[in-house]
Amino acid sequence: MPADQKRGIRSAQAGLLVNAGLAFIKILTGVLGNSYALVADGIESTADVLSSTIVWGGLRIAARDADSEYPFGYGKAETLAAAIVSLMLMAAAIAIAIAAVQEIVTPHHAPAPFTLVVLIVVVLVKELLFRKVYAVGQAVGSEAVRADAWHHRSDAITSLAAFIGISVAIRGGPGWESADDWAALVAAAVIAWNGQHLLRPAVAGLMDRSEPSIREQIHQIASGVAHVRAVEKVIVRRAGTDYFADLHVHADPEMSLRAAHAVSHHVKGAIMTMMPNVRDVLVHMEPDEGKGPAPAVRG
């Protein structure tokens, strides 16, 4: 298994353990402290446990080698995991919003002050976890790991909103009990926004959207190889954290088939050496008509 994918899996495992512990603490504290915002926050953390499990599974599948059934490998499993996690975020937001509205219209007591201490700890832990996991996602180029990281920050945001709502409810006294629930409603909106924000790149990855920066980098590398006169039709397909490239290279039309094959081999080697995340390159050799002869290729 590649080192990058191992790092991603370890971050998902760490997130799973932390979320499981925090979910239990928040739900228990919310029930005992009469805070629906904290209970809702705990439910969102429970969804985080499932999302980290999905990311973990997606990365493990993506690490499999290509075979006859999946010749391009299993990298799309990582992108699919990111899409599922994003949809889970949006579903959690809807569920929290519905329950918050129900609590707003139902008279109830103000939350207990001790819930604020728990929320402070939760915000600090989740923000720290977000930064660590997001750094791993950026380093390995994993959409699923980045989505998992944003799940942690969403949890920190819901906890912060709950803290504000509970503070207002306690300080405001009678008549302000629903401030806790309004905070849960605001948190739900933030979670929904994060969900759709993460879903777009995941869908783009599943649909093989073009990535201009990667194409340009491949074009520049191929153009710098000896005896290459022109490069066109660069197509890049992403599979998880890896890429597959397809391009047309123009060379001297008088060049022998052996020499043309050597040029294509040099182009492929140059791209894969300078771009380690490119798993394979397919080079189509074409005659460059109307130009002078190019020197013979050695080797």
Sorted by where each starts, the structural domains of the chain and their CATH numbers stand as 3-206 (1.20.1510.10), 212-287 (3.30.70.1350)
pLDDT at 205 over 50: yes
pLDDT at 42 over 90: no
- Count of Cβ atoms closer than 10 Å to residue 120 Cβ: 12
pLDDT at 4 over 80: no
Q: What is the pLDDT, as a whole number, of residue 290?
A: 54
> 3-state SS of the chain?
CCHHHHHHHHHHHHHHHHHHHHHHHHHHHHHHHCCHHHHHHHHHHHHHHHHHHHHHHHHHHHCCCCCCCCCCCCCHHHHHHHHHHHHHHHHHHHHHHHHHHHHHCCCCCCCCCCHHHHHHHHHHHHHHHHHHHHHHHHHHCCHHHHHHHHHHHHHHHHHHHHHHHHHHHHHHCCCCCCHHHHHHHHHHHHHHHHHHHHHHHHHHHHCCCCCHHHHHHHHHHHHCCCCCCEEEEEEEEEECCEEEEEEEEEECCCCCHHHHHHHHHHHHHHHHHHCCCEEEEEEEEEECCCCCCCCCCCC
Q: What is the pLDDT, as a whole number, of residue 216?
A: 92
Name, of 186-190, 232-236, 276-280, the range with top average pLDDT. 232-236
pLDDT at 269 over 90: yes
- Count of Cβ atoms closer than 10 Å to residue 216 Cβ: 11
Calculate mean pLDDT across residues 135-157.
77
CA 282 to each of CA 68, 133, 245, 256: distance values in angstroms, whole numbers, following the listed order: 18, 34, 6, 19
Q: What is the pLDDT, as a whole number, of residue 140?
A: 74
Q: What is the pLDDT of residues 215-230, one digit of tens each?
A: 999 999 999 999 999 9
Q: What is the pLDDT of residues 271-293, one digit of tens each?
A: 999 998 888 999 999 998 755 44
Residue with tokens 């153009």: 223
pTM score over 0.95: no
